[in-house]
Amino acid sequence: MSFRTILGALAGVTALALTAGTAGAQEKLKIGFIYVGPVGDYGWSHQHDVGRKAVEKAFGDKVETTYVESVPEADSERAIEQLARTGHKLVFTTSFGFMEPTLKVAKKYPNVKFEHATGFKRAPNLSTYAAKFHEGRYIIGQIAGKMSKTGTIGYVGAFPIPEVVAGINSYFLGAQSVNPNIKIKVVWANSWYDPAKEADAAKALLDQGVDIIAQHTDSPAPLQAAEARGKFGFGQASDMEQFAPKAQLTAIVDNWSDYYVARTKAVLDGTWKSEDTWGGLAAHMVVMSPYKNMPDDVKKMAEETEAAIKSGKTNPFKCPVLKQDGTEVECKGNGALSDEQILGMNFYVKGIDDKLPQ
Amino acid sequence: MRFELTPRASVAPAMRALAPVLAFITAFLIAGLVIWLLGRSPVAAFQVYVIQPLSDPWSIQELLVKATPLALIAIGLSYCFRANLWNIGAEGQYVIGAVLGGWLALRTHGTEAGAWVLPAMLVLGILGGALYGLIPAFLKTRFGVNEILTSLMLVYVAQLILDYLVRGPWRDPKGFNFPQSVTFDPAATLPTLGEASRVHYGTVFAVLAVLVTALVLGRTLFGYRLRLTGDAPRAARFAGFSAKNTTLAVFAISGGLAGLAGISEVSGQIGQLQPSISPGYGFTAITVAFLGRLNPLGILVAALVVALTFIGGESAQILLKLPLDLTQAFQGILLLCVLSADALVSYRIRIVSRGGRK
């Protein structure tokens, strides 16, 4: 912990003590949330809103929460500042594109705590947090490898940023571990939330002989496309079973509730400090929804892999990891790639017959 | 029974001036009714939507920040629209202006380049937008290609160029492979009009553009030529005005101003290049131009009004917990009321009973 961090934490605690002293104990902690999509996307933003509701439920009268939805990333500074200046003392900005605006507002409002999801820039009053979705991707990759009849699986990606690329690699490594001859096709939607485009991308994949669809976009549209064709897919961010009861094999659910409750508690207790959190299956930040629509042996395999990742016995990126050209990636972690290597991943692994947009 | 619109013989100037005011009142009454039906207080909503943003210095600044690109682009578009030329691609011209100007910012990043950088960036921004605007103009004058289609399609080309650059060659090498450039040096940042303010010099450019345009349209031969080309193309031809030159000129002006808006926004507000640098300003500006009836001062007012609906909408979410959908519905109601008021001033509704006409 640097000297500045300590100073910042001290300043925060003092400020909190001061407000508590002047305004009385019944003063509510106001917490703000900035969403990149609509709360009704039933994916990314929806899950953050589930977390917000969990905070309300856990602390009742002690907190008051506010959200602003569908905030364009290039024009988000005003909305973030508006939350800070209307008495919100803890503000969650829940998309990568909010990074610079959050940093700017955080510098201007040193007494407000900020939490930015999936970014890498921190400040004494700005924490970052993200989830190891790639752990879930490895499990669904194994399921896809077992369930595919055509031997070709598909992936709808949003943008070729490291988080998404790591997800594709993990998914493919999982599939490869149960079916060495598996092939993958990737289509980029170039949007986080655009149901029409996402569905088109999924249909294009299905037309090319793909029979299992995975997605890293925010709406249930790709899964619904699989359902309509009698194929299989996976839910993304939230449990999407209601949209595709026959097609959803499982879903990688983002569980922000525990984290949001913990951070709120830290502010209430005065123990909040700036840090970086990256939790996975073991920390319950990533949760697999029930395994369905698959034979018992596949289900058993998935459950075993899930347990092995939780206990640390298995790592999706255990060394050696080979790049597309067959060269080995330097192993900077403990028997696996390091967090930094995964967070900055900009290559496909061996066997993916596609070119990563650079 | 059916309705028919018949032109009024004469329209009192007072009525024409009063129409937008009446439209506003009607829009607020309708929106108030909806809010009341939702069980909320219409008075509180009006307070948050209109009174507060206009009475709080911070909100007024934000209003100017938001209105600046809208006004700059819309003023440019008014040249095209007056001449009956349909430039739908201001969004693309905005992006190319930002790209060309941003190129210099990145090129001089980390060097001791002096005060010439910023003016040169602005000139490049104008140049980029103007040249990009000239493409559809050239295609129209040379080959008779419909400018609506070409200018619109070029928006996507511009966005993809920006996308390619920030993901590839212009990516911040220390940015964990995330798609964004480095943040601009102070020498490449458009200064703000005050120490803690977010209002940048772009606002001054917008006001200048309005004043110059008012002069050009009212007092110069070029302005007369524009109006004549739009209102009576045949008469314009008889007067010896070249439609070709007019087309090239208005597209260059329109593109140049959109480019200026783009580089101002990137260097004054966002501070770096990223995949998305506009929440659709180029398209919203079309609405602004028509709300302002293509009149320079009208456009300035319209830009502020449209900015107000955005900011009021955010405040309504934060302070009243009203959903975003309501804000969007309100924007729609407002536009509909203004346009209907405009139509009803010039036309009267006649009810024609069935069979009443032979």
Nearest to A86 among B196, B279, B318 (CB): B318
CA-based Rg of chain B, rounded to a whole angstrom? 22
Other CB atoms within 10 A of residue A310 CB: 15
| pLDDT confidence tier of residue A15, bands split at 50, 70 and 90 | very low
pLDDT, residue B345, reads 85
**Cα–Cα distance, B39 to B60 (Å, whole number):** 29
**Same domain? A54 vs A201:** no
Q: Is A356 on the interface with B (CB under 8 A)?
A: no
Q: Is A357 in Cβ contact with B167 (below 8 Å)?
A: yes
**Same domain? A182 vs A303:** yes
Domain count, chain A: 2
Q: Is A53 on the interface with B (CB under 8 A)?
A: no
**Cα–Cα distance, B172 to B159 (Å, whole number):** 19
CATH number at residue A262: 3.40.50.2300
**Same domain? A113 vs A77:** yes
**Same domain? A157 vs A231:** yes
Q: Which residues of A touch B323 (CB under 8 A)?
A: 69
Backbone angles phi, psi at B56, to 5 degrees: -105, 120
Distances (CA, A) of A103 to A113, A115, B5, B207: 11, 10, 55, 30
Per the listing, tokens 């490449």 go with B188
Q: Is B276 in Cβ contact with A73 (below 8 Å)?
A: yes
* Residue B39 C-alpha, separation from nearest chain A C-alpha, in angstroms: 19
Q: Is B315 in Cβ contact with A358 (below 8 Å)?
A: no
Q: Is B179 inside any structural domain?
A: yes
Q: Is A200 on the interface with B (CB under 8 A)?
A: no
* Both tokens assigned to B96: 């190319």
**Same domain? A100 vs A223:** no
Domain containing A29 equals 3-132+256-279
Q: What is the DSSP string of A234-294?
A: EEEES--GGG-TTTEEEEEEE--HHHHHHHHHHHHHT-----EEEE-TTTTSEEEPPP-SS
pLDDT, residue B55, reads 87
**Same domain? A313 vs A294:** yes
Domain count, chain B: 1
**Same domain? A107 vs A219:** no
Other CB atoms within 10 A of residue B18 CB: 13
Query: Are A305 and A146 in contact, with CB atoms under 8 Å apart?
Result: no
**Same domain? A237 vs A261:** no
pLDDT tens by residue, A129-180? 999 999 999 999 999 999 999 999 999 998 888 889 999 999 999 999 999 9
pLDDT tens by residue, A314-354? 999 999 999 999 999 999 988 999 988 998 898 999 999 88
More confident residue, A207 or B228: A207
| pLDDT confidence tier of residue A24, bands split at 50, 70 and 90 | very low
**Same domain? A84 vs A8:** yes
Q: Is B84 inside any structural domain?
A: yes
* Both tokens assigned to A329: 């990636």
pLDDT tens by residue, A31-72? 999 999 888 878 889 999 999 999 999 999 999 999 999 898
pLDDT, residue B354, reads 66
Q: Is B24 inside any structural domain?
A: no
* Residue B50 C-alpha, separation from nearest chain A C-alpha, in angstroms: 16
Q: Which residues of B touch A160 (CB under 8 A)?
A: 167, 179
Residue A18 has pLDDT above 60, yes or no: no
The separation between CA B212 and the C-alpha centre of its own chain, rounded to angstroms, equals 17
Nearest to A99 by CA among B358, B206, B176: B176
Q: Is A65 inside any structural domain?
A: yes
* Residue A344 C-alpha, separation from nearest chain B C-alpha, in angstroms: 5
Q: Is B247 inside any structural domain?
A: yes
**Cα–Cα distance, B17 to A225 (Å, whole number):** 53
Nearest to A173 by CA among A161, A191, A155: A155
| pLDDT confidence tier of residue A16, bands split at 50, 70 and 90 | very low
Q: Is B179 in Cβ contact with A38 (below 8 Å)?
A: no
Q: Is A351 inside any structural domain?
A: no
Query: Containing H/E element for A183?
Result: strand A183-188
Q: Is A70 in Cβ contact with B177 (below 8 Å)?
A: no
Q: Is A245 on the interface with B (CB under 8 A)?
A: no
Q: Is A74 in Cβ contact with B276 (below 8 Å)?
A: yes
Q: Is B117 inside any structural domain?
A: yes
**Same domain? A176 vs A212:** yes
Q: Vertex B193, ends A124 and A70: CA angle to 5°?
A: 55
Q: Is A20 inside any structural domain?
A: yes
Please give the single-letter amino acid code of residue A4.
R
Strand partners, A215: A156
**Same domain? A337 vs A215:** yes
pLDDT, residue A74, reads 81
pLDDT, residue B113, reads 79
Q: Is B200 inside any structural domain?
A: yes
Q: Is A56 on the interface with B (CB under 8 A)?
A: no
**Cα–Cα distance, A155 to A98 (Å, whole number):** 26
Tens digit of each residue's pLDDT, chain B (358 residues): 788 888 888 877 888 778 888 888 898 899 899 889 988 888 888 888 888 888 888 889 999 999 999 999 999 999 999 998 999 999 999 999 999 999 999 999 988 878 899 999 999 999 999 999 999 999 999 999 999 999 999 999 999 999 999 988 998 887 766 788 999 999 999 998 877 788 999 999 999 999 999 999 888 988 888 888 888 888 888 888 888 889 999 999 999 999 999 999 999 989 999 988 998 899 999 989 988 888 999 999 999 988 998 888 888 888 888 888 887 888 888 888 888 888 888 888 888 776 554 4
Q: Is B6 inside any structural domain?
A: no
Q: Is A357 in Cβ contact with B178 (below 8 Å)?
A: no
**Same domain? A186 vs A301:** yes
Q: Is A162 on the interface with B (CB under 8 A)?
A: yes
| pLDDT confidence tier of residue A26, bands split at 50, 70 and 90 | low
Q: Is A354 inside any structural domain?
A: no
Domain containing B253 equals 66-296
pLDDT, residue B348, reads 84
